[in-house]
Amino acid sequence: MKKIHQQFICFAVFSLFILATLQQVSAVQIMDIARPKGAETSSLTAYGLVVGLNGTGDGGKFDATNRALAQTIAHLTDETVTASEMSSSKNVALVAISAEIPASGVREGDRIEVKVSAVGSAKSLEGGRLFLSPMIGPYPNAPIFAMAEGAVQINANTPTSGVIYRGAQLTRDVTTRFLDEYGNITLVLDEQHAQLNIAVLLADQINAEHNPDDFSGDPRRTSQIAWAQDAKNVKVNVPLEYRQHVAQFLAKIMSTYIPKDFMRGQAVVYINMKEETIAVDGAVEISPVGISNSGLEISTITPAPVASPINPIVERNRFVAMNAKEDDSPQLNDLIDTFNQLKTPMKDRISIIKAMHKSGNIHAKLIIE
């Protein structure tokens, strides 16, 4: 009996796990559609010198390089050196340096990647090494956040730019700050979901999942802890007991599940012209429409009653009509399936979708990159 009882408990736990999993499949977490304000990337910038080039540097033709090189030498060894004395150097290039601090922040001593680009007349940075350079924030009078140096790995297609992996070492902490002066955190919806109805529904879900009665000790607590500030920002008031532990509270909020029905905003079609890709976000409806394109040929095989696959009757035309079904509207995905069956070239697909959107036959927002 004991063994049977244990098996029943295991089955019940397993069933609950499956049920919870199925419920979560039909939902998304807040972290999938929004980020907390304060968790943003930031940039460091600098100018520096790449040395050790094999005659492919600025070649003394760029005055800024000569001055920078002279100032570096004067600072380190010879104070009497002048920019004119550097005019014959061909192994040095002046470069712009940039680095990105991740949204999670960094601590002193951490290393991050550095991007390097020539700004003068250098032909290539291959074989060069960035001389030790201080990096600051992208605003006036910013302090030094990192020191960058190291061998440049060039871009094969663009030898005047490259990267230094782990090339910058942080000299100070850069931490995330979530809490504002009023005790609120702000959730910033991503571009695809920045809509007023989604912001309001997200706030409602937070209020439903995190009842303010669960938080004690805050006399200013109202009946709601979250509200939509606008289409992109949702404010959440942090309970007093979490003010010193904002990360724990934020983790609870970001892991809150939102039913996918909440995400029914404006449908979007993405087209990347460079990569020649099409992505459809959501169910995109299209109006009944006839499609004709110079690069599109539709082949219809109509076998006669006694025909065989070896000997079909083939009709060829350059026109196809998509009509709405009796109880349903045609979807863009249906058209894409047709494109796939007909092996329509991607350029023709993009041209057709752009034309349909222009004529108002695609009911979605079109984003072209």
Q: Where are the domains of the chain?
A: 42-170, 184-263, 268-368
Tally of CB atoms within 10 A around 174:
18
Structure tokens at 74: 């004067």
pLDDT reported for residue 328: 59
pLDDT reported for residue 26: 52
pLDDT reported for residue 142: 84
pLDDT reported for residue 146: 95
Beta partners for 162? Answer: 116, 154
pLDDT reported for residue 95: 95
pLDDT reported for residue 162: 95
331 φ, ψ (degrees, to nearest 5)? -110, 155
> Taking Cα atoms as reference points, which of 194, 337, 328 lies closest to residue 278?
337
Task: Give dist(CA 77, CA 80) in Å, integer.
Answer: 9
Query: 102 to each of 107, 112, 225, how far by Cα in Å?
Result: 11, 9, 29
Beta partners for 366? Answer: 269
Contacts for 16 with CB less than 8 Å, ≥ 6 apart: none
Please tell me whether residue 331 adopts helix, strand or coil conformation.
strand
pLDDT reported for residue 96: 95
pLDDT reported for residue 230: 93
pLDDT reported for residue 291: 67
Contact 96, 117 (CB under 8 A): yes
Query: 221 to each of 37, 183, 236, 240, 281, how far by Cα in Å?
Result: 22, 11, 12, 9, 38
Please name the helix (run of DSSP H) or strand (run of DSSP E) that holds residue 343, with its range, or none: none
Task: Give dist(CA 128, CA 110) in Å, integer.
Answer: 24
Task: Give dist(CA 249, CA 240) in Å, integer.
Answer: 11
Residues of the chain short of pLDDT 70, as ranges, are 1-27, 211-223, 260-266, 281-282, 288-329
